[in-house]
Structure 1
Amino acid sequence: MYKVLLVEDERIIREGLKTLIEKVTTGFAVVAEAEDGKEALHYLRTEMPDLIVTDIRMREIDGLAMISKIREMYEELPIIIISGYGDFQYAQKALKHKVSDYLLKPIDRIELVGTLERIRQSLERKKWGAEAEEQSPKEERQIIRKVKAFIQDHTDGDLRLQTLADFVHLNPIYLSQLFKAQTGENVSDYVTRMRMKRAKQLLRETSLKIYDISRLVGYQSPKHFMIVFKKEVGMTPGGYRDQAPADEDL
């Protein structure tokens, strides 16, 4: 979850913006609020959010003066300016400070969603890059071995990409890219292959019902399991059980 500092001197507007940001988007949470630029700068001396959303006209220190000081501390920190003023000169000055966007009140929900999504994607790319730089080739191989072992040991469990990423403390998209680069196979394809391998073993070595086996390999729907099995193996689970020799090499 990306942390947002919301700077707005009118409490009602600030509360409305917080609700809007957290309800219409995913991945952002307002973790701090400030009534003016002075209060915001005080917060930024000890904390660093992932995004600042600020009004441009405020008491004490206005938005542009605040942004100028922020840029001295955090050159790349994303900033969205929200203002009731359609003054082009203000917009020009804001853009010189490398703000991410300049939105006018009343806020257009679709426009806000689009802006936040672009910022989220940018933050994700930076995060992936930082994670990639932190991992040596040996560490990358160890991570993938760990993920593969987890999948093989939990074919009956939750093997969504997010779950696997949480297990190895990585960004899910970075893990997906790393897994593909290391194995030449998508995570989802590997999960399916391991589940089918386990299913074939259970079909060969036990007399369990098909619906029991489907649950043991992570499928709550036996129908879905049978569709996937036939697609991957080339025959139905029942057909495989009838034809497969007991000592088949899996």
Structure 2
Amino acid sequence: MYKLVVIDDEFIVVEGIKAMIARMKLGFEVAGFAYDGIKALEVVRETKPDIVITDIRIPGLDGLSLIEEAKEFLPNTAFIVISGYTEFEYARRALTLGVKGYIDKPITMEKITGILASIEKEFEGQKQAIKEEQEKQTLKQALNKHMDQLIHGIIKESADIVKEEAENVLGDLQNQNNNMDEYKNECYKFLCVSLGVFLEQKKQYERETLISYKDIEELASFEEINRYVRDIILRITERLEVSKSGSGHRIINQLLDYIKQHYNKDIGLNELADMVNMNPAYLSVLFKDEVGMSYIKYLTKQRLDHAKELLLDGHKVMEVSELVGYNDYHYFCNIFKKNFGQKPNEFKGCIRKK
């Protein structure tokens, strides 16, 4: 119920308005009344009403002066003026005070109902706006809390915390953003913050290996966006797990030993990933971080270095091609020249001249 105060110097007017409001089926109750401006100010200060209905011409303190003073401590109260006067000065001053409406005498049920219904609708809109803003602030606080915890998880290298808080952040963002474009932008900012903290801790990793705004722009549904975000978070948490356990260096050394012994076989990255129970995409990044070059470049270097040794030992070019794992002779010649600036036969020829 909204509280209402009625102020008029005529007893019959005050009682009439009170009776009309009592008969209405709107959410208002009369919390107080007064017959002069001085008493009215006391009543308004004590009851703190949502609405004040006051005559302009009342003794002690006129209605507009009352409104002006009451506004100082009740800025959100709605004021309605009653007047049989139509002078411009009253209307102009009332407008500057933010008066919600006028009721001219004689006062009728229709006039009271119309203006109070209008104000009630406005109040309900304000309440809804306040509720939405409170919900927005609550969601914002939850998002900030989860982001803080996620950042803490990255710094402490706790993959479990990062995974859990990432899901919480996604939930918060979806609650805040029904528009897909906005959701994409917020998810990108979320990933940038997470990645920025991660890269600050692990400076050896490269940003472009993890995130692309263009990729996010091309996603067509919330599900796809969430999948993309989870994939990036997974890559971060995998690195955190390897970093915290100190197993990254050990795993790569294990694979380097294997490559050294089997460089001439058809070894794929997927096969290596299966050997160490690791995601192929993550292994590719980890390998580059630890070794300084991609797996393909490293395997190629191993093969070609061995090829040079075999050529120095006098083996034929075609034989060397097969021994180092290249069944396509022409491809071997081309890649050899690309790396050393001359074809295998030319390399052999230089050896003979020496």
Q: Normalized against structure 1, the TM-score is what?
A: 0.51
In 2, Cα distance between equivalents of 1:13 and 1:101: 18
Measured in 2, the distance between the counterparts of 1:76 and 1:57 equals 23
Correspondence 1:94 to 2:126: no
Instruction: Pick closer, same or farther for the CA change 1:98–1:132 going to 2, 3 Å.
Output: same
Distance 1:137 1:6 in 2: 41
Deviation at 1:137, TM superposition (A): 4.4
Aligned position for 2:81: 81
Amino acid at match of 2:99: V
1:210 corresponds to which residue? none
Q: Which amino acid aligns with 2:33?
A: E
Distance 1:82 1:112 in 2: 11
1:52 and 1:78 in contact (8 A); partners too: yes
Quote the residue 1:71 is aligned against: 71
- The yes-or-no answer on 1:42 pairing with 2:42 is yes
2:4·2:30 contact (CA, 8 Å) conserved in 1? yes
Query: Partner of 1:129 in structure 2?
Result: 129
- Show the counterpart of 1:156: none
Note if contact 2:36-2:61 (Cα within 8 Å) is conserved in structure 1.
Answer: yes
- In structure 1, the partner of 2:21 is 21
Check 1:44–1:111 CA distance in 2 against 1; reply closer, same or farther (3 A cut): closer
CA change 1:62–1:115 in 2 (3 A) is same
Counterpart of 2:143 in structure 1 is: none
- Tell me the residue number matched to 1:53: 53
The Cα offsets for residues 60-97 of structure 1, whole Å up to 9 and x where unpaired, read as 11101111111222223100001122333212221221
Cα separation, 1, equivalents of 2:133 and 2:27:
23
Structure 1 vs Structure 2: percent identity of aligned residues?
Answer: 38
Q: In 1, Cα distance between the equivalents of 2:70 and 2:55?
A: 14
- The answer on whether the counterparts of 1:25 and 1:116 sit within 8 Å (CA) in structure 2 is no
**Cα separation, 1, equivalents of 2:86 and 2:25:** 25
Residue 89 to residue 25, structure 1, CA distance change in 2 (3 Å):
farther
Match of 1:143 in 2: none
> Quick one: which amino acid aligns to residue 83 of structure 1?
S
Aligned to 1:141: none
- Residue in 2 that maps onto 1:4: 4
CA distance 1:23–1:87, shift in 2 (3 Å): farther
Cα separation, 1, equivalents of 2:46 and 2:111? 31
SS of 2:33's equivalent?
strand
Structure 1 runs (4+) greater than 4 angstroms displaced: none
What pairs up with 1:167-206 in 2 under 5 angstroms? Answer: none
Structure 1 residues 5 and 130 mapped into 2: Cα distance closer, same or farther (>3 Å)?
same
1:202 — aligned with what?
none
CA distance in 1, matches of 2:18, 2:95: 24
Match of 2:118? 118
The answer to whether the Cα contact below 8 Å between 1:51 and 1:79 also exists between their aligned partners in 2 is yes
Residues of 1 paired with 2:124 and 2:107: CA distance? 25
Deviation for aligned residue 1:25: 4.6
Larger Cα Rg: Structure 1 or Structure 2? 2
Per-residue Cα deviation, 1:107-134 (whole angstroms, up to 9, x for no partner):
2432322211110011111222223333
Aligned residues: 143
The separation in 2 between residues aligned to 1:103 and 1:73, in whole angstroms, is: 24
User: Relative contact order, CA 8 A, sep 6+: which one is greater?
Assistant: 1
Kindly indicate whether the alpha-carbon contact (under 8 Å) linking 1:37 and 1:63 is maintained by their aligned counterparts in 2.
yes
Instruction: Tell me the SS of whatever aligns to 2:60.
Output: coil
Tell me the alpha carbon deviations over residues 177-222 of structure 1, each in whole angstroms, 9 at most, x when there is no partner: xxxx99xxxxxxxxxxxxxxxxxxxxxxxxxxxxxxxxxxxxxxxx
In the alignment, residue 63 of structure 1 is paired with which amino acid?
G
Higher helix proportion, which one?
Answer: 2
Contact 1:91 1:102 in 2 (8 A): no
Residues in 2 aligned to 1:16 and 1:108: alpha-carbon distance in whole angstroms: 9
